[in-house]
Structure 1
Amino acid sequence: MNTRGTGFWDTPSASPIGPEHFNEIVTTAADLAIVLDTSGTVHSVVTNPLNPTLGQLDHWKDHDIREFLTVESQPKIDAQLSAYRDGQQTKADAIEVNHSDNSDWEFPIRYTLHKTGDDNIILMLGRDLRPIAELQHRLVKAQLALEKDYESHRDYETRYRVIMEAARDAFVLVDVASGRIVDINGLGAKILGASADALTGSAFTQEFESRRRGEFIEGLVAAAADGASRVVSVTSRRTKTDVVLYPVVFRAAGDRTLLCRIETAGTTETVAVELTQVLSALYRDGADAIVFTDMAGVIRSANDAFLSLCDAGQLTDIRGKSLGEFLSRGSVDLKVMIDSATRNKKMRLYSTRLEGAFGSELSVEMSATHLSTGDTTGFAFIVRDTSRIEVVREPTTATPSAMSDDAMRDVMDLVGSAPLKDIVSATTDVVEKMCIETAVELTDNNRVAAAEMLGLSRQSLYVKLRKYGLLAKNDPTTPN
């Protein structure tokens, strides 16, 4: 079999192709057919009706073909036409050129040039290369995208490796489905007693004593889901070291992965976590009432013990209210405690009365601490019910022992040497002086607050301070 089919065409008796069919064959065999002379003038242009994207090119007729070629393509067509004029072209040759039409439309064409019966006439059959060019463009874009993704992947992989090895904590990545170690940093491998390469791909459960794979992995996942107690204590099989795991579950590419931070038992962070849990339990279940407020004394949180003292049903009933609303002297008590805690970081004891939601009152002792942790600032108040102690002490509060021994001795010396009226007046002065000194001391020499605490005007307090010689004593500007 002759694959080139020359037998039919070389047979002299072969039926010639009629002119009416030749034009159809040429137009359908090529996307673009051009008849031009060796000088480059176009005599005829025919486009394939099956490729309408080329449009109508009848305006090319009787024009130089170079007018419709880009600058870099013109030398190619000049070389071919020159070869045909000089008779050096012996066989059809293919060239690729870019056509330019209307200055804004370019399209690539691959032409084959063919001789005709007239030595001055050339037939150019062209194949539209735009689909191939578009495909090549897409391939180039895909290749560039792949290379960009690859570079990004390498960048993230490098960052990930640097972070894993530079981290001060020990980390291990475990596949939840298989329970095998996906990756582990150097510190984690050191704690488990093997190299990172040896541990990668091994079963995570086998690195700890008395652990079953299914139960152990499920326990880690459950611990990760529990925000309150995200801790699992285990013993390393190789080093016999007690360690603590802090698991976190995340999903990547559809697969669940465990990120476990490993710490040896007894480290500072482990003790801190345990202390946090203990303090949380104390706050939740402690006997003493605990209240947290902001810098203005507005309640942020309180435990059940405080809710019981103020007869509140739930935390939402008091959250957002000022703590002063629950104190007998209101803002006076609150301001005294806040000012003292702000200056001295804490206030040890402050006696006052706590008012409940339904009008009940209790004698309480309060201590205040100024808190400043990161972006969180405020005060912590510990409230202790002293009503029972007050009942026990009440019978003795009116006895002379409640006063200072020196003051009582001065009063007793007046018996027999002064009338009872003068003795009562002296006793009253002693009690009044002691009350004023106590109020000034409790308010840290805040005389406005002391006056409000004693139920006096500010002017009356200054008069009494001057009367008992306490004005200069408590004046911070007066030298000692």
Structure 2
Amino acid sequence: MRAGGLPDVGSAGNILEQSSDIAVYMDAGDTIQGISVNPESPALGCLDHWVGRPFKNFLTSDSAIKFTDRLAELSKSADGAVRAIELNHMDNATWEFPVRYTLHRIGDAGEVLLIGRDMQPLAEVQQRLVHEQLARERDQQLLRSEQTLFRVVLEQSETPFIIVEPEKARIRNINSAAASLLGSNPDTLTGNIMSQTFEGRRRGEFMEAMQSAANAESARTVEAVSRRNGRVFNLRPMFFRAAGESLLLCVIEPTDDNDATGPEFAHWLASLYAASADAIVLIDGKGFVREANEAFLVMVDAMQLRDVQDQSLSEFLMRGSVDLKLLLESAAKKGPIRHYSAQLKSAFGNRTPVDISISRLRQRGGELGFGLIVRDVSSNQLPDVEDANAIVSEEAMRNVMDLVGTASLKDLVSATSDVVEKMCIETAVQITNNNRVAAAQMLGLSRQSLYVKLRKHGLVNSDKDD
């Protein structure tokens, strides 16, 4: 856009030399007729040898194509104005520099004037930015790698320890071994005030005791009681510095005389688990099998652990979800269950009468689960069951036989069915430990129907018992 008039300049060459880094004048055949280089751009060097030679000889291959297209665009332009173009020059095979040109048509003979700005300083800045970005990405990747390494070592360490910020008295990091001893998990404890993890400890007094023990010449410990499980520990603190920040490393030493959580104990426990003649099963809070030993696999006719893993334990119990629900609820509410009679079914339909013991467990990481010991009692329970059935059947049938001669056959059959019905209901109530809901599920009845039959057979004494 122009306004007003411009003076008639007689020294255009000096103006071009001072206002641009490089100016190139070409004839219609693209041969360089003149060239001017700004003295303030020594990086371009002396380009006098370009005169009389084609301009394309000093361009890279891709820049030569771009330049030919832009010249064609200039020749078709009515006002002789086209967009600027960036070209990469090449000279002596090893020297290359970028220049941003504006193209101007001069006269009617097809001459072209190229006024250029050296882009090498900008390219160097961009290159430095790229290098800085790459270096930053490498540093971030190294930092992530170090953080991952720290997390892995933290979690795999068998030594329970806590890293504390002394000024804020907050837990910076804690490994799973320490969190398990304290009755929680790392995610819950990280970021909490250290003193809140232990009973009867005030923030200021507790941190003073920790810092005093850490600064003592001889090794000293601080006794503390876990708020979550009541266990007593000795905390052995020590100071260390990381990136200029002072932190406190506290090693947790259990004082329990019967504590045996070392590697040797774990090895013996694993050996017992694998070699036990009784089936041992570990399930999560919903009843899905997580681990099972060889004895359990033999009992359910499974070839390997993955055949039973992640399946509900109810799949292997004859009464299915009824047994599982009773086991989980009883263990969660009443504590360990010593004897629970049930029948285990194998993958091929075989049934095995078993006695089940179940206890609630706190797994590593704080999640709740259950451990079961399953014993095969088919050899010693079968005679007892037969004797019991025989006794009950004989007594029940004697009552029925006393009615012969005093009642019709229809009434006798009805009485017999009532006796069997009462026996089944009594057995279901006994198995479920008087859990009416579970007994109804076991018998395939609604809860209301079960209550009606209990009253019918005199198995409830009052509405309070109901």
TM-score scaled by length of structure 1: 0.50
**Aligned-partner Cα distance in 2 for 1:270–1:181:** 26
Contact 1:186 1:195 in 2 (8 A): yes
**Aligned-partner Cα distance in 1 for 2:6–2:199:** 94
Shift of 1:153: 1.9
- 1:161 match: secondary structure: helix
**Aligned-partner Cα distance in 2 for 1:133–1:221:** 56
- 1:73 match: secondary structure: helix
Shift of 1:176: 1.2
Shift of 1:98: 1.1
What is aligned with 2:3? Answer: 7
**Aligned-partner Cα distance in 1 for 2:261–2:155:** 24
**Aligned-partner Cα distance in 2 for 1:78–1:113:** 12
Change over 3 Å in CA distance of 1:141–1:267 after alignment to 2: farther
1:188-227 superposed matches below 5 A: 188-226=178-216
What is aligned with 1:69? Answer: 59
Change over 3 Å in CA distance of 1:267–1:130 after alignment to 2: farther
1:183 is aligned with what amino acid?
N
What is aligned with 2:167? Answer: 177
2:8 is aligned with what amino acid?
I
Matched, 1:120 2:118: no
1:449-460 superposed matches below 5 A: none
1:356-375 superposed matches below 5 A: none
What is aligned with 1:17? Answer: 8
2:184 is aligned with what amino acid?
A
Contact 2:58 2:89 in 1 (8 A): yes
**Aligned-partner Cα distance in 2 for 1:131–1:153:** 33
- 2:62 match: secondary structure: coil
Contact 1:37 1:43 in 2 (8 A): yes
What is aligned with 2:122? Answer: 132
* Cα-to-partner distance string for 1:61-103 (whole Å, 9 max, x where unaligned): 1122222222332222233334556778942222211112233
Change over 3 Å in CA distance of 1:123–1:269 after alignment to 2: farther
What is aligned with 1:375? Answer: none
**Aligned-partner Cα distance in 2 for 1:15–1:270:** 98
Q: Which has the larger radius of gyration?
A: 1
What is aligned with 2:152? Answer: 162
What is aligned with 2:352? Answer: none
What is aligned with 1:101? Answer: 91
**Aligned-partner Cα distance in 1 for 2:260–2:241:** 27
> Any stretches of 5+ residues in structure 1 without a counterpart?
9-13, 273-480
What is aligned with 1:78? Answer: 68
**Aligned-partner Cα distance in 1 for 2:260–2:199:** 20
Contact 1:98 1:107 in 2 (8 A): yes
Contact 1:181 1:202 in 2 (8 A): yes
1:172 is aligned with what amino acid?
I
**Aligned-partner Cα distance in 1 for 2:19–2:35:** 14
Give the aligned CA root-mean-square deviation in angstroms: 2.8
1:50-65 superposed matches below 5 A: 50-65=40-55
1:187 is aligned with what amino acid?
A
Shift of 1:136: 1.4
> Any stretches of 5+ residues in structure 2 without a counterpart?
263-466
**Aligned-partner Cα distance in 1 for 2:220–2:96:** 66
Change over 3 Å in CA distance of 1:143–1:170 after alignment to 2: same
Matched positions, count = 262
What is aligned with 1:241? Answer: 231
Contact 1:263 1:270 in 2 (8 A): no
Shift of 1:211: 3.1
What is aligned with 2:338? Answer: none
Contact 2:74 2:81 in 1 (8 A): no
Change over 3 Å in CA distance of 1:227–1:118 after alignment to 2: farther
Q: Percent identity?
A: 39
Change over 3 Å in CA distance of 1:269–1:97 after alignment to 2: farther
Shift of 1:270: 11
* Cα-to-partner distance string for 1:264-302 (whole Å, 9 max, x where unaligned): 114699999xxxxxxxxxxxxxxxxxxxxxxxxxxxxxx
**Aligned-partner Cα distance in 2 for 1:86–1:233:** 91
Matched, 1:146 2:142: no
Shift of 1:107: 0.6
